[in-house]
Amino acid sequence: MLNVALPSIRADLGLPTGQLQWVMSAYVLGYGGFMLLGGRAADLFGRRRMFLLPLTVFLLFSGLGGFATEGWMLVLARFVTGASAAFMTPAGLSIITTGFPEGPRRDKALLVYSGTAAGGFSIGLVAGGLLTAVHWRWVFFAPVALSALILIAAVAVVPKSPRPERTRGGLDLAGALSVTGAILLLVLTVERAAHEELPRTLATLAAGLCLLAAFVLIERRAKAPLVRLAVLRRPSLLRANIAGLLFSAGFFGFQFIAVLYLQELRGWSTLQTSFALLAIGADAVLSPTVTPRLVARFGNARVILGGLVLAALAYALFLPVGADWSYPAMFPTMILLGLAFALAYGPLTIVATEGIDEGEQGLAGGLLYTSFQFGAALGLSAVTAVSTAAGGDGRSPGALLDGYHAALLVPLGAALVAAVVSAFGLRGGPRETGAAG
């Protein structure tokens, strides 16, 4: 819902483009930064508990975001809600993966799950446009009511988790803090690269890499590591996470630029923008219906590759966008992105969690969603930096359009690299390359 509200938030609070993208990036940083800790917490303390408690925090801080009067207040609320979601999401995913045996039934469940996520995207676009037409603050207040309904339903229907065996050493807080700091500094490096002096940019990059190295050392020595590094030696899991990171970077970067193009350059209303992007939500129907049949016939790896190639094609078709493009000229990009998401998202989830012990399903989900959210933060930062450097912070239509054209190369490049990475999966095992099941 927030995507289409960004220009209204900018106008009301007077935020520059660089700070505006942090309204999005603060959420994905909190989400991606704490996802590994959230996944491990679900394995250690129970999946149901780690779904319900963070959902309550999410509800409270979403409401606080609606009362924000300064940009920093909004960014803080978004960060906390993102961190709360970081505990909910792997818990929810692992409830599904541990509730079905590995094979066709779990694959079907995960593809239905990805379809409901797409449905939320579609509903959110329309609801965001309607709510922003009243006032952008309702984009924050509406999730409070929705979260309350989810909380009531979850208490009633989510099964209680068996009491997990306690692991010596408890949660790896040092690992969680170091990896969160590394993600924050690396994204900050990308965001500031276009308008900061080179020495400061390099210093931020070095600090981020040092924290990342510290995270690896901590995990090697920890009694109960946040990430058991041996898990990362699985080629299929590694490919799924890299491809997911790049796919997410392209998708969120494109969406950010498309919203600014439609509303700030073309002057479209929030509701018009919502309906323009609605075709992307076609994967809500395709994911649980068409994708399982394609996976059964061609295997996960081929379906993922097909989705990434379609994403690259979609971005390429939007590259020559002009100041007066009609919607029919934009529609092929939107519908191809919906198809690409349907083909890539669910199968990536399957590949990233298959073959993982039940006691580490939360970790596997945390790794995948960390990749998705880290990719989203990098994509948002990269398109903002490129757009600003190319003139996208200018006020003339020509300067804005030049910035958008340059920024659109970022999602195209990310999709192409993701396709190359996923192509190596064509040489993988039967669950990747052959018929599912």
Could you please report the per-residue DSSP string of 289-337?
A: HHHHHHHHHH-HHHHHHHHHHHHHHHHHHHTT--TT--HHHHHHHHHHH
What's the whole-model pTM score?
0.80
The span from the CA of 415 to the CA of 397, in Å, is 28
Q: Residue ranges of the chain with pLDDT lower than 50?
A: 435-437
Determine the pLDDT at residue 243.
95
Question: What are the angstrom distances between the C-alpha of 88 and each of 2, 54, 205, 386, 412?
Answer: 19, 6, 30, 33, 31
Longest alpha-carbon distance in the chain: 62
Please give the pLDDT value at position 194. 60
Q: What is the pLDDT of residues 155-197, one digit of tens each?
A: 998 887 666 555 555 667 888 789 878 877 887 787 666 667 7
pLDDT for the residue numbered 428: 58
Look at residue 53 in the predicted model and tell me its pLDDT.
94
For residue 436, the model assigns a pLDDT of 42
Angle between helices 198-221 and 173-192 (to 10 degrees): 160
**Residue pair 96/51 in contact by the 8 Å Cβ criterion:** no
Residue 437 has a pLDDT of 37
Q: Identify the DSSP state of 14.
A: T
pLDDT value of position 195 = 63
Q: What is the DSSP letter of 437?
A: -
The residue among 112, 114, 115, 145 whose CA lies nearest residue 127 is 145
pLDDT for 380 equals 84
